């Protein structure tokens, strides 16, 4: 217990430069969704200021203030983040599936469909985020990261393994995720992390996750990437680092 507390304190030190600025606003996303989007949807059938509220699925989609095309998938109930035990319940909403479907808002904002492999989904650890309401970033993938993952995707199986190269200067584990008949992730990334990577279930708060679409030799699917917070490598487990909110992957 003392070791875990010391590790948490050391990792928290990574956030100190920006912690004071964001501390008073760490519930901003929840206030937007819980106090504005959901009530507006219930009373008026309009989700403003969100782009969408799906009450049966328990999710809202909100345009992020950063990036021309970035959106956020946010639960309509109180869920702190990747560390929440609610995410591993059998009846947990399919947040990643809904986030993948919500890429349609990127298409609409752009005025044309994005190539499938240009999109990415990411969630940060508590040490790499500023908001205490779960949110999955829906944005473009970084061009270099896209190429690095393409180089190894066909060698991946359904067991986790550490990538032979670092992504954005940090170690990542990867595994294949198949697509269902509709082209959506066939398994839940939170459970794949908790059940598949040794020790992860007890330390979900140390991880960030990213989901990249992939084209395998036997069909389309996804690559799931996980990184673990580490004070020695200044890694906050902010998987959002694999994204490019400027969407340079769309440029010639």
Q: Is 161 within the bounds of a domain?
A: yes
Q: Give the pLDDT mean for 150-159.
A: 97
Q: Which domain holds residue 153?
A: 60-250
Task: Give how many domains the chain has, as a whole number.
Answer: 1
Q: Is 186 within the bounds of a domain?
A: yes
Q: Is 8 within the bounds of a domain?
A: no
55-85 confidence digits (pLDDT tens): 999 999 999 999 999 999 999 999 999 999 9
The pLDDT of residue 25 is 85
92-111 confidence digits (pLDDT tens): 999 999 999 999 999 999 99
Percentage of the chain lying above the pLDDT 90 cut: 88
Phi, psi at residue 211, to the nearest 5°?
-125, 120
Q: Is 70 within the bounds of a domain?
A: yes
Q: Is 224 within the bounds of a domain?
A: yes
Q: Is 222 within the bounds of a domain?
A: yes
- Length of the chain in terms of residues written: 252
Q: Is 45 within the bounds of a domain?
A: no
118-152 confidence digits (pLDDT tens): 999 999 999 999 999 999 999 999 999 999 999 99
Phi, psi at residue 129, to the nearest 5°?
-135, 165
pTM over 0.85: yes
Residue 223 to residue 230: CA distance in whole angstroms: 22
Confidence of residue 15 (pLDDT cuts 50, 70, 90): very low
Q: Is 98 within the bounds of a domain?
A: yes
Least Cα distance to 205 among 83, 122, 87, 88 occurs for 83
Residue 212 to residue 137: CA distance in whole angstroms: 12
Instruction: Tell me the CATH number at 133.
Output: 3.30.428.30
């Amino acid at each position: 217990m003392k070791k875990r507390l010391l590790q948490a304190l050391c990792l928290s030190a990574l956030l100190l430069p920006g912690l004071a600025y964001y501390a008073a606003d760490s519930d901003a996303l929840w206030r937007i969704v819980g106090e504005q989007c959901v009530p507006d949807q219930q009373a008026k059938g309009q989700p403003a200021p969100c782009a969408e509220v799906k009450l049966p699925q328990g999710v809202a989609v909100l345009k992020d203030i950063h990036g021309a095309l970035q959106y956020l998938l946010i639960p309509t109930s109180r869920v702190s983040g990747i560390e929440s035990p609610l995410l591993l319940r059998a009846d947990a909403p399919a947040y990643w599936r809904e986030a993948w479907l919500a890429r349609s808002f990127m298409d609409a904002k752009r005025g044309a469909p994005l190539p499938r492999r240009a999109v990415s989904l990411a969630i940060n650890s508590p040490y790499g985020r500023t908001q205490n309401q779960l949110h999955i970033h829906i944005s473009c993938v970084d061009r270099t990261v896209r190429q690095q993952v393409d180089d190894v995707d066909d060698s991946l199986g359904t067991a986790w393994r550490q990538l032979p190269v670092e992504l954005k200067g940090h170690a990542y584990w990867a595994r294949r995720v198949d697509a269902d008949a509709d082209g959506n992730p066939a398994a839940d990334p939170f459970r794949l992390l908790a059940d598949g990577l040794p020790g992860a279930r007890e330390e979900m708060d140390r991880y960030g996750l990213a989901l990249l679409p992939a084209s395998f030799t036997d069909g389309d699917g996804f690559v799931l990437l996980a990184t673990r917070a580490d004070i020695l490598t200044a890694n906050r487990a902010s998987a959002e680092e694999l994204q490019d909110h400027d969407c340079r992957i769309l440029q010639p």
